[in-house]
Chains A and B, each alone.
Chain A
């Protein structure tokens, strides 16, 4: 018996793939667009190239999309040309960068973990540029990016992303400020290891500056802010903040009347979902909506193996439980069916924790 030889699949420029992975349609599309752009500009001077691209873009929506996505992909895959391609992109784009934002969102939601290192770094750079240019809708993309960062806090690359200083971008939007403070306050807890302390200090500095200068925006978070601050209260700067919070609220903001005001403010589901990557959410929602009670063991094992197998990841359990309680609201139809109930998932999360006495804050 001879094995059938595996079909050779050329590695794309954007995503990491193995011979097992099916060809990625998005990647293929984007690489086709690169081909189109290159065929239009090959051998031309910068000026001529720009004219050629502009002329093509005017031909119609499809050509516009192809050129924009081609330039976008070049930004991701060719760092040396990124500045120039981005500039070209801003010159030829006719829809307020919407076509690019949509693709970025798609990549962030579906493909982020599979991005190769260069495109990933470039993507973060590009998002920064978009925010700096004041592109409308860029903050939505930043939030998705933040989510990915928050949820993968224990992986090496995300630490390097944090180094990337997303901090200044966020000042443009109250929601972004709230999201980043929520995210980084959460990350601080996970970054207690000695080798991560410099990183943690940056996160602390950022959070303190936001809390002290933009407190009313941070208030958007709601009562969960108190919980988050409790978890970091031992840190000196945070301790000082707590004193003001409790005894001197006006220092933080004239409109802030005190902790009670914070405690009575509900926290939006958006924040609870912050710590979960889109992939985690997809899988949890799949479990709570499609998997029948009694059939869940394998799914639990797979989820556990992927997301809950390291010592650092045990703190994720709290966030998952919080998410299930606060965000997952099955319809009556599902509730009355034999679909896996939420209490069963929570039970699984509680009973399979491998770290004893971690002081997990189960308070919800």
Chain B
């Protein structure tokens, strides 16, 4: 797994399920309620944003209690996956959240890339029996879940919904799910894995939002 330069900064719009080694600078918009996990940790889901959009991040324990709305935070070595149908950021091993400032950052709250997607939620309920997303997607996505996919199974790099070939349901959807790896209307069997877990997002060009009439969110590099 090639790792990108550790200093490359990503934009929220470029985050996809299975993205790894994410370095992102964002501003905290809202802090959610605390919930307790089964093993006694505290988790908070926070809404954060940069100029390209907003997303949810889950923060554990002490850091979660320290974060305040308005904080400008740098995430290093984060990763993203689907949690209850919503794209969510996490801090990975060796990663960190650091407050580098406050207030003075322009952001856009829309699009919200963590908008829940009911289809994904249904699939998530099928797959994630433990209810928790894995830190890496190794082996977590039996390919037969993704109908029609041509993604090779077992390479460990595929998030559950990569290459999901379900056509958009026709109704325009919020571009929030652009990162979920749905094909953008190109032939589904194009073979290019929409998401490379550890590679730079440049490799993930084909994963694009369900079209809702707005510009397809192409990963711009």
**Which residues of A are in contact with B by a Cβ distance under 8 Å?**
1-4, 6-7, 18-22, 282-283, 286, 290-291, 298-299, 301-303, 306
Contact = CB atoms under 8 A, between A and B. Distances in A.
14 contacts: A1-B37, A1-B132, A1-B134, A3-B41, A3-B43, A4-B60, A18-B66, A19-B66, A21-B99, A22-B99, A22-B100, A290-B104, A298-B69, A299-B70
B62 A6 contact: yes
Interface string B27-45: 0010000000100010100
Given A3-B60, A298-B29, 16 more contacts: A1-B37, A1-B135, A2-B135, A4-B60, A4-B92, A4-B93, A4-B94, A4-B96, A6-B97, A7-B96, A18-B66, A20-B63, A21-B98, A283-B103, A298-B69, A301-B69
A19 B62 contact: yes
Contacts of B96: 4, 6-7
Contacts of B95: 4
Interface in B89-112: 90-100, 102-104, 106
B133 interface: yes
Nearest to B101: A22
Interface in B136-178: none
A286 B133 CA distance: 39
Contact of B99 (A1, A20, A306): A20
Nearest to A17: B99
Contacts of A283: 103-104
Interface of A is mostly: loop
A302 B135 contact: no
Nearest to A9: B98
A20 B67 contact: yes
B7 interface: no
B74 interface: yes
Nearest to A291: B106
A2 B95 CA distance: 13
Q: What bracket does the count of chain B residues touching chain A fall in?
A: 20 to 34
Interface of B: 29, 37, 41, 43, 60-63, 66-67, 69-71, 73-74, 90-100, 102-104, 106, 132-135
Contacts of B104: 282-283, 286, 290
B13 to A, nearest CB: 18
Contacts of B99: 20-22
B77 to A, nearest CB: 8
Contacts of A4: 60, 90-96
A3 B103 CA distance: 27
B103 A302 contact: yes
Given A283-B104, A286-B103, A20 B97 contact: yes
A22 B63 contact: no
A19 B63 contact: yes
B44 to A, nearest CB: 11
A175 B44 CA distance: 50
Nearest to B74: A22
A298 B62 CA distance: 24
A1 B133 contact: yes
A21 B102 CA distance: 11
**Pairs A-B, 10 closest by C-beta atoms:** A3-B60, A22-B98, A302-B70, A20-B66, A1-B132, A4-B91, A286-B104, A20-B99, A18-B66, A22-B100
Nearest to A21: B99
B150 to A, nearest CB: 29
Contacts of B100: 22
Nearest to B60: A3
Contacts of B63: 6, 19-20
B43 to A, nearest CB: 8
B47 to A, nearest CB: 11
B98 A3 contact: no
A22 B91 CA distance: 15
Contacts of B102: 302
Contacts of B71: 20
Contacts of A306: 70
Contacts of B135: 1-2
A7 B97 CA distance: 9
B97 to A, nearest CB: 7
A123 to B, nearest CB: 23
A3 B61 contact: yes
Nearest to B71: A20
Contacts of A286: 103-104
Contacts of B134: 1
A114 to B, nearest CB: 11
Nearest to A299: B103
Q: Which of B91, B98, B100, B132 has the most CB of A within 10 A?
A: B98
